[in-house]
A = this chain, B = another copy of it.
Amino acid sequence: MRSNLKMRGVFLAYDHGLEHGPTDFNEKNVSPQYILDIAKAAEVDALIMLKGDARAFYRRELGIPLILKLNGKTDLYKGEPFSTQNTSVQEAVKLGAAAVGYTIYFGSRYEKYMIREFGKIEEEAHSIGLPVVLWSYPRGQSIKNDESPDIVAYAARAAFELGADIVKLKYPSDDSNLNWIVKSAVATRVFLAGGKKLDEGNLEERLTKAAEAGFSGMAVGRNIWQSDSPVDRIRKIKEIFK
């Protein structure tokens, strides 16, 4: 099996329904169809969805590579975070995915079980040629500041050591040495996570710095589908990571 995932550019993320509930959505973007339309029009490099969305809306014929997210949790439980697998690698294959995604909350009391679960996914996915994307998010009581450059670089490195092809990271609070994060990830491509909607200038400045430092792209959600001009915004970001 050959994956059609491009390891660079803009990935349009839409897993917020499970992670946050529909509170991020409005009348338009509450539907995955709206997201698919944007993805198609803007020619995003990949679309990130959960199994429910993919089953109902995704078709490989759309020509947009799908990264199927295999684990998830709600934000209703407030204790130490543990995002468990809800979708098998075989299901990703059935749904036509070009890659699979998984979140590890490093530093959580449950880190150990996510590392183990990810380990199996990584091997199964790679054994059939599917790239693996790791949401590498230090979180939990042990983590005082998940945006400190050291913590972000640690998250990048852990993803590489565990075999991820792509790592999705938060933008660090101090961006004076973004390249160190990229170097820490070695052969793993570094993508920026989007986070809350930022004003456009602010976002572009960040992305430009990241791209110059060697980041390969951005996995972006709210900043796109909460925007009035989503296709334009994607194109601008694509331009930055060309």
Contacts and interface: CB of A to CB of B under 8 A. Distances in A.
Interface of A: 15, 17-18, 21-23, 25, 27, 30-32, 50-53, 55-57, 72-74, 76-79, 82-88, 90-91, 106-113, 115-116, 118-120, 122-123, 126, 138, 140, 142-143, 150-151, 153-154, 156-164, 180, 183-184, 186-188
B183 A50 contact: no
27 contacts: A17-B158, A17-B160, A17-B161, A17-B184, A21-B150, A21-B154, A21-B157, A21-B184, A22-B153, A22-B156, A25-B184, A30-B186, A32-B186, A50-B162, A51-B122, A52-B163, A53-B160, A55-B126, A56-B187, A72-B162, A73-B115, A77-B109, A77-B142, A84-B119, A86-B115, A86-B119, A110-B112
Contact of A161 (B52, B143, B150): B52
B52 A160 contact: yes
